[in-house]
Chains A and B, each alone.
Chain A
């Protein structure tokens, strides 16, 4: 028995790596390739003309397209310097993604500071809940935002009460950027908090005892460990907002259309060659950003033994000195802004779910949910199965994404030739257009492949879980990997020298040292699964594999009540789930 166990253990890593690769090929690479190949294979012949058309089209690439189509660099440079230069759709998409990333970092960092460095009642619960905005369907966010920032919204009501003129934020780039921050600042906050909590207190104490001031200690010791995590959040945010689609049209309008809007339209019109070519352009840019970041991360990993986190300070200042008051005053200002950006839209959603057509408070929309549960036809979407499926899929997907992510993180923290390629391959699920993946899953899994007169197909719950795990596992990699690569190698080497297998070292030595990051990764994998829509509707070929976001979409009608009520159910269920995940994960296992 012991020998068997040792045998299994010694091969566990290899087996997991093989399983991970298999899941990726079946649920991502092969399906996606069936669509992307259409960009270069048109009517059976290989061609690059579709690409050439896009790259030289000013509509997509602005002034750059003129350069690519052979105009003189001087003339193009002159246009670039002029005020009416054209960015093109791709340029504009990148521009708004940069703005959205800056806004997300600006709103996410103070939250990380608050959660990592201060102690107050409900801190852990608040930390668990920070990720909730991440899972909300875009239509819910749009409703909340119109109610908050619209002409008759909360913000204008507040401004009016203060005697200030109203602002109209709706249908502007600002509204889109704020909404993107709503979605992604939690991501930045969550990743950064995990890193901040892993900072070893003894290193700071050593610096202080050697005469460094608190500021100097922060800049030299704490910042180098927090900064890469912040960049992780920023890189992920850029990729997400670069591939953004429904929220842009809901809150901005078609003038602010992004690349993904056109990918969607081309797929809908069955113009697959152009859709695939555009999606490859998107993929190249997103992967480029991710890889640039990964190169930075590899060069700047800081070594840590991650033993004892920094002590947290009380929110109530111990002495009324300027040094104590200033950060807290800053945090107070931040909380006011966060209240407007995060809490007001969510509060508006909750309010909409209990407001009737006449504006009076009512529980009718929740009654609708109960009624639909009791009297809905077998082929109609009902709330309870949606809740059950969402939780089951997310739990299974998380349990699958965790080992996948840990394995890939272990494989990509070593130095070897071709690592960049492995990195790119591992991160690709983040960077491919969701619509394209959905279409690929339809072809590759739902319709299946014909092999020797048999058609092998897979759909339903299991396929959904695997697809969700593939979407979520990059987050586990990105949260766990920096910590692993920063671990003191001597720890691993001593354990190996004492006869522990590689898998055992990972389990007993490395993972406990980066545990906050593992829990953060698990929460992300769970969140990705809960919020996922495109792959779910493609793979849920039965009338019984739908999830909460699908139910919300189904309940949207002229009155938003029923859908917002379902949205509140999603809020509550996912909020509770995140609290449970954090509790299960423990604060700091064994530390």
Chain B
């Protein structure tokens, strides 16, 4: 419920002068108070089911829409939190289709919530005792879970439990050892290159050749998920040289079989060869599109978009270095404080149905998480999968990933 306090606080009664700036200040002051909302909290636990200002509610005039408390005879509302691109992108996004389809199959209303800080927003909400205000999160990565578990003492998410169709999820994608997150799609981070200007090397070592000097653009591992995936891929390839071992005693051994050459050595060589590490994926892809370099770190589904936009596929070739790509499976999990936990699990089952899996893959331009998803027969022609996907498990990332990124930062930006 909302209280409009401007009644009691409007002390600056409109002075009848033509003094524009004073009048403006008076009204602004009064209006400023009208945007407040006050609601009862129950025992500091929050989350009493009445809408507060945390999600897709219109609060511009201080009127909260009712979240629907799923009472008898009412259509329950399921609030699904996710990242923005999942529901709103300039090309395609699955959000609208999923909402329509879910509402037609179940007696429920689906409401999307896309806070700018994504999962961190809910970590903040939990930490400040403001209530969670959503039923499940769609788009969790392994790293998100590691970070959330490290940061919060309590449980933000609860076990998936009884979700129909979970058995169909591919074994290699199940990334949560505590069975909270259920994968619904996956992507692969690889090189995308313009074959009309240069041919990409076959291996990581090939990137160090003189002919590829200044030829690769990647992203900041500290601020971009593709950049981080590429960094993790190099850790997996060359080992971490014990950078994070003070935490858990184990050094990651690289596949290259050389214990004296780790990922930091490889990056030193890459830097020597003029690799460009820009900020976000947007920065990198824009610079690559303008022809600043022939290769960029991006997604292996690049040709799907290129085909949509009738672009020359020769300019959008995929290269899996050492036949590998780093897999980033995305999962969904129910919030421990969900108002509609059962409906949330129904939604998870819905997300895993073969036809929905196919739609998600196409509309999110990714790959299904389950066996038996219904995809058009030519989907694999444009959306390429590596023969040997690489990914770190939850246990491997825990206590390590921050140290890996930080060690890389300190080497790469040492001024």
Q: Using a CB–CB distance below 8 Å, which chain A residues touch chain B?
A: 1, 4-5, 8-9, 12, 15-16, 19, 22-23, 26, 59, 62, 86-89, 91-92, 139, 142-143, 146-147, 150-153, 170-171, 246, 248-250, 253-257, 261-262, 264-265, 268-271, 357-358, 368, 377, 379-381, 396, 399-400, 402-404, 406, 439, 442-443, 446-448, 450, 453-463, 465-466, 469, 503, 507, 537-538, 541-545, 554-560, 562-563
Contact = CB atoms under 8 A, between A and B. Distances in A.
A469 B31 CA distance: 14
Contacts of B16: 1, 5
Given A170-B292, A270-B120, A450 B21 contact: no
Nearest to B299: A558
Contacts of B180: none
Interface size class of B (residues with CB under 8 A): 35 or more
The 3 A-B residue pairs with the shortest CB-CB distance in the complex, in nearest-first order: A462-B35, A249-B279, A265-B222
Contacts of A448: 37, 52, 130
B52 A457 contact: yes
A269 B39 CA distance: 31
A455 B36 contact: no
B277 interface: yes
Interface stretch (B22-30, B160-168, B238-246): B22-30
A9 B220 CA distance: 56
Interface string B367-394: 0000000000000000000000000000
A129 to B, nearest CB: 25
B216 to A, nearest CB: 12
A461 B34 CA distance: 10
Contacts, number: 275
Contact of B88 (A270, A380, A404): A380
Contact of A557 (B90, B114, B130): B90
Contacts of A457: 36-39, 52-53, 130
B154 interface: no
A541 B59 contact: yes
16 contacts: A5-B16, A59-B410, A139-B286, A150-B291, A171-B292, A249-B280, A250-B283, A270-B150, A402-B21, A403-B25, A454-B41, A457-B130, A503-B22, A541-B59, A542-B59, A543-B58
B279 A250 contact: yes
A146 B90 contact: no
B415 A89 contact: yes
Contact of B58 (A16, A380, A462, A542): A542
Contacts of A454: 38-41
Contact of B277 (A1, A253, A460): A253
Given A146-B286, A559-B309, A16 B25 contact: yes
A73 B413 CA distance: 25
Contacts of A9: 15, 17, 19
B409 A262 contact: yes
A261 B223 contact: yes
A88 B309 CA distance: 45
A292 B290 CA distance: 43
A153 B116 CA distance: 34
B363 interface: no
Contact of A442 (B15, B62, B124, B129): B124
Given A269-B147, A379-B112, A558-B305, A257 B25 contact: no
A18 to B, nearest CB: 9
A380 B87 contact: yes
Contact of B415 (A23, A88, A537): A88
B116 A537 contact: yes
Given A246-B279, A541-B54, A557-B89, A402 B12 contact: no
Nearest to B127: A443
A404 B32 CA distance: 14
A248 B278 CA distance: 9
A270 B128 contact: no
B96 interface: yes
Contacts of B302: 558
B36 A557 contact: no
